[in-house]
Structure 1
Amino acid sequence: MTALKSDNINQSEDNEAKENVFIPRLKFDFVEEGASVDVKARGEIERRHYGNDNFDDETRSAFAGRINWSVLPRRLSLVAEDYLSEQPINIRDGRYPGNLQQVNVFIAGPSMFARFGEATRFQMDLRGADTYAEVTPGFDSRRYSASAILGQTFGASAEASLHVTATKADFDETDPNIVVDYVRRDAFLRYEGRQRNVSYVVDLGGARVDRDLASDANTTIARLTVEWQPNTSSRLRLRARRQFADEVQDLILRLSDPEEALVADLADPGSSQVSGSVYRQRDVELDYRYRGERFSFRVRPRDRNLDYLSRDDSSRTERSMAFQMGYLLRPRLNTFVDGLVRVRDFSTRDQRDIDHIYRLGVDYQVTRHWGWRAELIRNKRDSNLDDPYYVEHVAQMTVWWKR
């Protein structure tokens, strides 16, 4: 149960709405690894009661789940995935009541496997997907994809593979200015290796998008992930990507990562513009984590550029720096400070927004099963335009219970 008090919950410059919000919330995390069925699922559901009646009470929910049924071990599996989240209706505005919509992506299909000797493997995946957005037009679609992987291992520490994927997207509504049906083809070589405390994955290839009622496009695929863990306390990870991508792919990537929050903070460095359009993506992210006996620290600088093929008004560059620090005062009493600074430049509107969000809090675990958390939050947006500017201060108290 959370009690929240905000002096500007609608994140407005000159029409601030003060609000007291009471939020009963249920969270779960489920993992089952059986002989033939693997299940991973996590979710949140909450009911927001607005005490000052500035907004109608609402329910928010988020879910990420995957089930893998091995019908024939090492030969045939059936896979189903679902990703439900709350995303902004207008990405240029904040995450306030009335600017959030429910977005869902469901994927299902078979995976077939074969081995040619001890070192060579083959995999084929067939998938159908259904995408839905509560408000935004041009996102609802049916997608069909086929991908093939031919891999070769080299000892215990290296593997090379060839990946070929074709995806057809059919949208419920098409508008050349927003989104059009397309076929996307990706082909790349991947090399994975591990040496002592370092692991890495390198992809090189190309992609093409053939669009109905619009010009076709090509790009280079170049991706690199390097992870270094010098000791049990520290981890450094670098991710760099140049590729075609879309919001469906972005949502799956973020929500399937158990380290990412299902429900975003007030300013989210990875929030999505709900759109079915493909974009050229350049994305570089560094993630350093340290966890000692008392002190913990995480810092995540990120630089990305999204160049949409259809929606030019959404093309933008984003640079952000997020950090988290915690200090254990006593075995069950933790203090923490979080922060985010993000600069967004929209290409066609001459608009620059700068988000600052900082949080100071205390988390106390009374027993194994319950505890409380108190937080103070400052959320500010500066802009070269008048309307997007706002400042919000939030006080929040949470009492939690877990099994």
Structure 2
Amino acid sequence: MKTRDPAFRASRYRATLAPLALALLVALSTGNARAARLDYQFELTGLHSDNLNLSENNQANESVLVPRLRFDLKEEGASVELHARGDIERRHYFGNEFDDETRAEFAGQLKWALFPQRMHLVVEDYLSEEPINFRDGRYPGNLQRVNIFLGGPSFFARLGDTSRLQIDVRGADSQAEVSRGFDSRRYSAAAALQHDINATSNVSLHLAHTRVEFDQPETTIVDYTRQDGYVRYEGRLRDIEYQLDAGRSRLDRENADNESTTLARATVQWQVNPQNRLRFRARHQFADEVQDLVVRLSDPDESLVPDLVDSSSSLVTAGVYRQSDVELDYRFSGDRLGFRVRPIYRQLRYISRLDADRTENAVIYQASYRLTPLTRIVFDGSYRKRDFRTIDELDRDHVYALGIEQQRTRHWGWRAQVVRNERDSNLPDPVYKENAVLVTLWWKR
């Protein structure tokens, strides 16, 4: 197998520094470890796949042993709010096809009230494994570590009994192991003037200015400045929470044509009853992969590691695109039966990378049934269709997984799972089929 070059290893090392810095800052700021809640879980997984490299004609029949640590740390104190979650695993490949490797994911948000209700310090870090070639699947050799670190102060002021002003100043650094077009620095300032209409609703005016500078600019990716201005209306009506944005965005690019677009976003969540929840989200805006990763990984409902097909189809580049998407997320949680279905529509139109323009339709679903108080059966599945606009490529992904999980005692248990993963395409190269079996022993705090 080929050995990664020193620059690759150096970038991977730098990508781990930000989470360590955040962890150190957390330790220094919290002061009282007993105030935080730490949950962690050790896992040992055995995996066997008949096509681990997701190839049509050169399948790698491989067995893998994966020790893993997962953790979730939360604190909501008077001066510190912290949520950090992540996992780290070591993959030992028994065949000769792949080198052993370490994979790590992390999402952390720290808010430190230096001067309560006047000035807060915000530090965030997001570390994930993303595809090198986003048209291919998530297999060994096609993953790179991506890190986004951001931080800065937030200032608050009350303007009467019903009005408030917030100013956020942020600096951000993004790095990727392989995709050099992703490495960049960002500087932003945003102001929000909010007015309470009544006890359950408010309206606010938002203005934001962002400067993006790339470490290695390319002919298609240039430094730019982005201005956003929009009005937000949000509130709560019985069991319904909503947030509506409407405004305009402008993109000023160096040595390139400027662009502008309408900004429109809507999020509505309805807690029908304790068992049923429905969430609707729609967006039309300028976006980029840095922004999308922060939004996805900061959501505690999102997995750090996609269990099935990566519905985000991450293209690791900092190039800007017009994003239009609609998503519905329905969840049912009963005493014995659980169910989730999530249809997604996305349209991405890049300002510079026209070869990546695509339309995606996907549905992700999960059903679980509790056979006994400590044993349940789980069925996961997903379907995704990607239609590339300029290269005449149409891919269809299907993933099905059936598993059983049993908690033997308060702290430990096991689960077993069989997976079918396949892709059909109008081009011969992306086509593949995979069958896999996973058995996991776990111990949790």
Shorter chain as normaliser: what TM range? over 0.9
**Structure 2 partner of 1:380:** 422
Structure 1 residue corresponding to 2:69, chosen from 23, 26, 33? 26
Give the alignment's Cα RMSD to 1 decimal: 0.7
Residue 290 of structure 2 aligns to a residue in which SS?
helix
Separation in 2 of the partners of 1:98 and 1:48?
A: 13
Separation in 2 of the partners of 1:381 and 1:27?
A: 30
Relative to its length, the structure with more helix (as a share) is: 2
Contact 1:176 1:213 in 2 (8 A): no
> How far off its partner does 1:266 sit?
4.0
Contact 1:176 1:214 in 2 (8 A): no
Structure 1 residue corresponding to 2:370, chosen from 325, 328, 336? 328
Contact 1:94 1:266 in 2 (8 A): no
Tell me, yes or no, if structure 1 residue 17 matches structure 2 residue 60: yes
Runs of at least 4 residues of structure 1 off by over 2 A?
Answer: none
Structure 2 residue corresponding to 1:175, chosen from 218, 234, 237? 218
Tell me, yes or no, if structure 1 residue 148 matches structure 2 residue 188: no
**Structure 2 partner of 1:54:** 97
Q: What CA deviation, in whole Å up to 9, does each residue of 1:231-259 have, x standing for no partner?
A: 00000000000000000010000000011
Separation in 2 of the partners of 1:131 and 1:226?
A: 31
Separation in 1 of the partners of 2:313 and 2:109?
A: 22
**Structure 2 partner of 1:393:** 435
Residue 250 of structure 1 aligns to a residue in which SS?
helix
Give % identity.
57
Residue 386 of structure 1 aligns to a residue in which SS?
coil
Tell me, yes or no, if structure 1 residue 222 matches structure 2 residue 264: yes
Q: Aligned pairs, how many?
A: 402
Structure 1 residue corresponding to 2:115, chosen from 59, 64, 72? 72
Q: How does 1:3-402 map to 2 (within 5 A)?
A: 3-177=46-220, 179-402=221-444
Separation in 2 of the partners of 1:114 and 1:11?
A: 55
Query: Match of 1:400, as an amino acid?
Result: W
Contact 2:308 2:382 in 1 (8 A): no
Separation in 1 of the partners of 2:353 and 2:219?
A: 9
Q: What CA deviation, in whole Å up to 9, does each residue of 1:299-358 have, x standing for no partner?
A: 000001010101111111110011000000000001010110000011111000000000
Separation in 2 of the partners of 1:401 and 1:265?
A: 20
Q: What CA deviation, in whole Å up to 9, does each residue of 1:139-189 have, x standing for no partner?
A: 101100000000001221101000100100000111122x11000110000
Separation in 2 of the partners of 1:239 and 1:3?
A: 37
> How far off its partner does 1:34 sit?
1.6
> How far off its partner does 1:281 sit?
0.2
**Structure 1 partner of 2:13:** none
Q: Which moved more, 1:262-271 or 1:121-130?
A: 262-271
Query: Match of 1:170, as an amino acid?
Result: E
Separation in 2 of the partners of 1:265 and 1:74?
A: 40
For structure 1, list consecutive stretches of 5 or more residues without a partner in the other structure: none
Contact 1:112 1:124 in 2 (8 A): yes
Separation in 1 of the partners of 2:219 and 2:76?
A: 45
Separation in 2 of the partners of 1:91 and 1:266?
A: 15
Separation in 2 of the partners of 1:53 and 1:372?
A: 29
> What TM-score comes out, normalization by structure 2 length?
0.90
Contact 1:313 1:349 in 2 (8 A): yes
Separation in 1 of the partners of 2:385 and 2:129?
A: 22
Contact 2:340 2:365 in 1 (8 A): yes
Query: Match of 1:204, as an amino acid?
Result: A
